[in-house]
Amino acid sequence: MNFPQSSMTNGRRAALLFVDDDTTVLKALRRLFRHENYTLYLAEGGAEGLTVMQEHVVDLVICDMRMPTMSGAEFLAQALEQWPETVRILLTGYADLQSTIEAVNKGRIYSYCTKPWDDEELKLLVHNALQQKHLREEQERLSAIIRQQNDELKAINEHLEEKVEQRTAELEQANKNLLLHNQAIEAARNGITITDAKQAGNPLVYANPAFKRITGYDLAEVLGRNLSFLQGGDHDQPGLESLRTAIRRQTAGYAVVRNYRKDGSLFWNELAIAPIKNANDEVTHFVGIIDDITEFKTNQAQLEYRASYDDLTGLVNRNLLNDRLDNAISTAQREQKVFCLFFMDLDDFKVINDTMGHSVGDEFLKIIAGRLMNCVRACDSVARYGGDEFVFVCPSIAKTDDAALIAARIITEVSQPLQLNGHTLQGAISIGIGFYPEDGLNKETLLQHADTAMYDAKDKGRNTFSFYTEAFNQRLMQRLTLEEDLRQALRLDQFVVYYQPKFDLHSEQINGVEALLRWNHPEKGLIPPDHFIPLTEDTDLILPIGEWVLHTACLQAKAWQLAGLPAINMAINVSPKQLHGPTFDQTITRVLLQSGLDARFLDLEVTEGAVMLDPDKIAITLTRLKDIGIRISMDDFGTGYSSLSYLKRFPFDNLKIDKAFINDIPLDEGDVTLVLTIIAMAHNFKLKVVAEGVETQAQVDFLARNGCDEIQGYFFSRPLPAAEMEQLLKQTN
Ligand SMILES: Nc1nc2c(ncn2[C@@H]2O[C@@H]3COP(=O)(O)O[C@H]4[C@@H](O)[C@H](n5cnc6c(=O)[nH]c(N)nc65)O[C@@H]4COP(=O)(O)O[C@H]3[C@H]2O)c(=O)[nH]1
């Protein structure tokens, strides 16, 4: 028989092992299979058989059942454990048949063959066993391949599923993103448009809701149209050209353009466009982002305006004035020309502001600004330089005569009465004029010199104009020096108070003194107050100096009382600035407290001009002072407004007739009538009358005869230093 397949296992010859203690059996078996295509191993016992199996690959074992030392069953059990793939066949006698069949059934051996065996049967058994082994191995190999392929398939499947899941997630995310982008575009504050770049005329295919909010157009009205309709007729704009170029070149573009809403109103569009490309890199659409920057533009314009113009009056401000002056100077230099500059300051504007409030003051300034503009040519610059200061640069005026004409016109215009808040007001302005280059080679000097000239105009009586002169500049410089000297005088204690007695014509006694300030200058000697008080008024120096006088005079009055001299009134001059100060009554109370002087001995002399500045406020202040016992005198009566209503309105105790009316009595009939009228009128108001500047016996007699209560003047005594005044008090009272 030929069994070619079974003799080969995995491409090699199958190996058979015969185990029997009987060498004749072994030889018989070898003989039987010698010519078959097998590799044959022989072992004379179980132990040797196991050694062979360890050293060689054995496909089939034929083993005798009954062997000494190790039985066939024992050997096969060990072989099964170590080489389960090896086919095991038992050679058995009939005596062992039962246990052999059991072994077959339990799978411990493949089959058995009873001794003596039939050769062909044994060969067939071996062949079949090997065939089966081969088939089983083949099946296992195939199963392994199938298992491996299954595993690979599973892995591919799992990978595919993973991929599908991932793709699905990506798609879901992409969908979400798309939705989000869509919502973002719809919710965007900026207008967003998409136009079709492939169609002629680049028509609109999409616009978000903000587009409607900004332009007022519904989507239905604008779809399919070219967005140039937003320009209205306003096509001549530089920004548009850059947008057109961008579209032509299919690139991104940006421009700020004027657009018009559906209602025709203008809005500033900060427009950015960008091309959208398809997969083939072709531009299919343009996206446009519209930002309505109208508010920003308006604010910007306002800021620019504010940087150059005065908010209140709309006149040029200092910044722009500086530029214009620079220009005027360079033009004048280039063309060898002269130009003129007016420095203007409203007279008594502070009074309007203080008495009527800032809003009236502002309105007043606006009206004046308008009037100034009326006086100049449209191309000239009138600037608001400070609170109530204005500057006018006039390149066309080169001669003093022309400048004087304009100045006069400005004064006339400003002085026209005007109605504000139910009041009739009359403006007044002082103008200083300087010429370039004569009065200043640069703008700072020119402005300063015109300002100096303006002070000259003020000095000349206000509501007038002055040309800059070096002489006045010198005077101004002296004034500045004097101011500094006065500050120093206060620091160095150079002020002294003189006292001039007041004589009571009824009791014929000194019943008071007036404190009069002197400046004991180390070089110039005693300087009278008229020489420096006006300046201290202008500079606020009067406040510390006035307080010093109050303090010194009150201390002096108290000192005389303490020295046993009869108690007399101490009259002290109060300047308008002091009186209008917010803490004047507190200052007085403090001075009284510090000096220890009883309020009823203090007599404050105020002028008509001072109370006139803000009558309501001053009436309250004076009443408050009067309430604590202080006396109030109206000084210099007759020189100012001399209004009867004032005598009623303010809590005056005394009325002082100015020296100007006393000088020529009793000879001048006019003055006599006036003085008699004042005395009668004052008495009607229950005021005492004091005559100032009494120098002659005739004046004394006249005044005594006509009921004047007190006199003050050189006739009785000049103002005296404290020590001399003390002597006089001792002698006379
Ligand atoms: N020709 C002539 N003059 C006479 C005669 N009798 C008095 N006088 C002068 O007339 C001035 C009277 O003072 P006033 O009217 O209050 O006028 C004062 C007053 O307005 C102001 N003044 C003086 N001291 C002070 C002060 O402490 N504070 C303030 N705010 N002003 C003061 O200065 C002005 C001038 O003061 P004075 O030079 O001291 O001049 C004093 C006095 O010396 C006379 O018979 N003939």
Q: For residue 640, what pLDDT is reported?
A: 66
Residue 635 Cα to ligand 1 midpoint, Å, equals 10
**How far apart (Å, rounded) are the C-alpha atoms in residues 700 and 176?**
111
Assess whether the region 188-298 and the region 308-468 belong to the same CATH fold. no
* CA 714 to ligand 1: nearest atom: 45
Report the half-sphere exposure of 197 (CA within 13 A, side-chain side). 21
Q: For residue 1, what pLDDT is reported?
A: 38
Question: Tell me, which fold does domain 188-298 have in CATH?
Answer: Beta-Lactamase (3.30.450)
**How far apart (Å, rounded) are the C-alpha atoms in residues 476 and 136?**
133
Measured by CA distance, the residue closest to atom 13 of ligand 1 is 516
* CA 712 to ligand 1: nearest atom: 6
Residue 406 Cα to ligand 1 midpoint, Å, equals 41
Q: Is 695 in the pocket of ligand 1 (CB under 6 A)?
A: yes
Q: Is 720 in the pocket of ligand 1 (CB under 6 A)?
A: no
* 688-691 and 710-711 strand pairing: parallel
Q: Is 553 in the pocket of ligand 1 (CB under 6 A)?
A: no
242-248 contacts at long range (C-beta below 8 A, 24 or more positions apart): 243/271, 243/273, 246/273, 247/197, 247/202, 247/273, 247/286
The CATH homologous superfamily to which domain 308-468 belongs is Reverse transcriptase/Diguanylate cyclase domain (3.30.70.270)
Q: Which of 350, 377, 362 is nearest to 310 (CA)?
A: 362
Sorted by where each begins, the domain ranges of the chain are 8-140, 188-298, 308-468, 496-513+540-732
* CA 537 to ligand 1: nearest atom: 30
The residue to mutate among 526, 531, 573, having the most atoms of ligand 1 within 8 angstroms of its beta carbon, is 573
Classify 384 as helix, strand or coil.
Answer: strand
What residue ranges of the chain have pLDDT lower than 70?
1-10, 107, 640-643, 733
* CA 546 to ligand 1: nearest atom: 28
Residue 575 Cα to ligand 1 midpoint, Å, equals 12
CATH number for the segment(s) 8-140 = 3.40.50.2300
Q: 448-487 burial string, b = 16+ CB within 10 Å, else e?
A: bbbbbbbbbbbbeeebbbbbbeeebbeebeebeebbebbe
Q: Is 607 in the pocket of ligand 1 (CB under 6 A)?
A: no
Encode pLDDT of 522-574 as tens digits: 988 999 999 999 889 888 899 999 999 999 999 999 999 999 999 999 999 99
Q: Is 288 in the pocket of ligand 1 (CB under 6 A)?
A: no
- Are 622 and 648 within 8 A, CB to CB? no
Residue 516 Cα to ligand 1 midpoint, Å, equals 6
The residue to mutate among 496, 500, 516, having the most atoms of ligand 1 within 8 angstroms of its beta carbon, is 516
Q: 67-100 burial string, b = 16+ CB within 10 Å, else e?
A: beebbbbebbbebbeebeebbbbbbbeeebeeeb
Q: In the CATH scheme, what architecture does the domain 496-513+540-732 have? A: Alpha-Beta Barrel (3.20)
Q: What secondary structure does DSSP assign to 234-251, as a single string?
A: ----HHHHHHHHHHHHT-
